[in-house]
Structure 1
Amino acid sequence: MANGSESDRVRELQARLQQTGHFSLNPTGYYGSITVTAVSSFQADRGLPATGATDTVTWQRLVGVTRKPTRDELRPPTTRPVAKPDPQCMEGRVMCISKSSRTLTWMIDGKVTSAMDVRFGSQYTPTREGTFLVGWKSRDHVSTLYDTPMPYAMFFSGGQAVHFSADFAARGYEGASHGCVNVRDEKKIASLFAQVRTGDKVVIYW
């Protein structure tokens, strides 16, 4: 396996590297620059040539110091590991949103029921932090200020809302919102939109 590879075996490689502390993201199945760096680091630690490519010796050495990843470890719900919930998230119905991990977890009475990748506003249009309530919902909302679609919008502070972003889905973290909490996965935000009620809590924290 090497840079550009994409397979379930790459996903297992990343999960095993995660166990050793060399891979900080969740498995994606794509062997990109982050995986190359992680493999190089593992190789250097084991006295192997730090090529960044996974040859037979590197794979065998990795398998020898790790256990077989579980299904949940291989296919986690978010790109980055979900952060420890803020204490404000532990009671009631809460969209618990971590800026540090860039994840949203939907929690009911302290239990995580779903999780998804999110992104935030830029330094010029920052997403507000704190504890809020969902004020209103709009399934097919279009921003009157920016004239852009905001599907599955759940407003929590003025014009700021949690909503699906086609731009986020296409460009990933290269872009930013105008202050809203963008969700990458349309199926997950559609399911979340159906569950969230007006008055449910929104906690945004680092």
Structure 2
Amino acid sequence: MKRSSVIRRVVLAATAVVLAAGCTPWGDDTGKGTVSPAPTTAAPAPTSGGTGDDKPSSPATPSASATASTGTPSASATTEAPTGRILMKDGDENAQVRELQARLRQIGYFDRAPTGFYGTMTAGAVKGFQKKRELPQTGSVDETTWQRLLGMTRKPTAAELRPATTNKLDTPDPRCMTGRVMCISKESRTLAWMIDGKVVSSFDVRFGSENTPTREGEFKVEWKARDWTSTIYHTPMPYAMFFSRGQAVHYSADFAARGYNGASHGCVNVRDKAKLAVLFDQVKVGDKVVVHW
């Protein structure tokens, strides 16, 4: 085989991998349902897609009364000391984090739907719980913190782990405070449609999986399509607003049916079709899109 043929096959293979990371291939900028031919050279790679009333535990150091009477620390003074082994921390994303959030929500420390992602909001809730119990306020969950929480709460139900209620909005990213912008938070899993710093409407959203991540950063709406079908996955994408090559904000029937049990192929899925239809008519090509943690 000639060297030129080998190089061409490698380039085309790399192009296919990159394009498959989004919901559709590179579309044209008319939004009329046609698709531009795939590039013959490799496309650029994606950029990164309480109210409990229990008594506080005894301090880890000996109490004055304990040492005065026996000369050695009392048993209760040491049993509640943190072990040092961290079970959950900032950046983790798994089922145990979702359970943590649901349990914290039961006793008033976490005021949004569990997401399974351990970010600044979860760390703040954990610190609040630790402060009330006079535990070290690390914001991470060690064995002592976890056992105290387990003792105060019950095993979350399926509805508590994945409630149908709307997620609470995150604090807007500074880039969202001027102009017309779809401000999208991966941590709270929300989209806020904002104009000059004011929230006009908001939505629950979900994102791509680890293999097909939703890109983060500041973008613009490149083109729109009221009725669109993915040319890669052959699934409907109503009210699609494309902002980063093949990635778009769009309605997802799968998200509406399964919630956070699933994931997109890189797009920002919305599950409220009626509300998204209104947003689609308000958003203009060129409006800003900010995707952040």
- Unaligned residue ranges in structure 1 (runs of 5+): 1-16, 27-40, 54-76
Pick the aligned partner of 1:184 from 235, 247, 271: 271
Query: How many residues matched?
Result: 150
Supply the RMSD in Å over aligned alpha carbons: 2.6
Matched, 1:123 2:205: no
User: Distance in 2 between the 1:105 and 1:91 partners?
Assistant: 13
The match for 2:161 is: none
The match for 1:200 is: 287
What is the SS of the residue equivalent to 2:239?
strand
Q: How is 1:155-170 mapped onto 2 (pairs within 5 angstroms)?
A: 155-170=242-257
What is the SS of the residue equivalent to 1:123?
coil
The match for 2:232 is: 145
Aligned-partner residue type, residue 204 of structure 2: D
User: Distance in 1 between the 2:154 and 2:290 partners?
Assistant: 43
Aligned-partner residue type, residue 198 of structure 2: K
User: Distance in 2 between the 1:199 and 1:78 partners?
Assistant: 31
8 Å CA contact 1:135–1:198 kept in 2: the answer is yes
What is the SS of the residue equivalent to 2:204?
strand
User: Distance in 2 between the 1:116 and 1:170 partners?
Assistant: 16
Percent identical among aligned pairs is 67
Pick the aligned partner of 1:173 from 244, 253, 260: 260
User: Distance in 2 between the 1:185 and 1:96 partners?
Assistant: 17
8 Å CA contact 1:137–1:198 kept in 2: the answer is yes
User: Distance in 1 between the 2:155 and 2:263 partners?
Assistant: 31
CA offsets 1:129-168 (integer angstroms, 9 cap, x no match) = 0000000000001111111100000000111000000000
Q: TM-score, normalised by structure 2?
A: 0.47
User: Distance in 1 between the 2:275 and 2:108 partners?
Assistant: 29
8 Å CA contact 1:78–1:116 kept in 2: the answer is no
User: Distance in 1 between the 2:211 and 2:105 partners?
Assistant: 34
What is the SS of the residue equivalent to 1:150?
coil
Aligned-partner residue type, residue 113 of structure 1: V
User: Distance in 2 between the 1:90 and 1:159 partners?
Assistant: 26
CA offsets 1:4-54 (integer angstroms, 9 cap, x no match) = xxxxxxxxxxxxx9696245325xxxxxxxxxxxxxx99x66xxxx6679x
Q: 1:202 to 1:78 in 2, by over 3 A?
A: farther
Aligned-partner residue type, residue 83 of structure 1: D
Q: Looking at CA atoms only, which structure, 1 or 2, has the larger radius of gyration?
A: 2
Aligned-partner residue type, residue 210 of structure 2: Q
Q: 1:201 to 1:78 in 2, by over 3 A?
A: farther
Q: 1:52 to 1:78 in 2, by over 3 A?
A: closer
User: Distance in 2 between the 1:164 and 1:23 partners?
Assistant: 28
Q: TM-score, normalised by structure 1?
A: 0.66
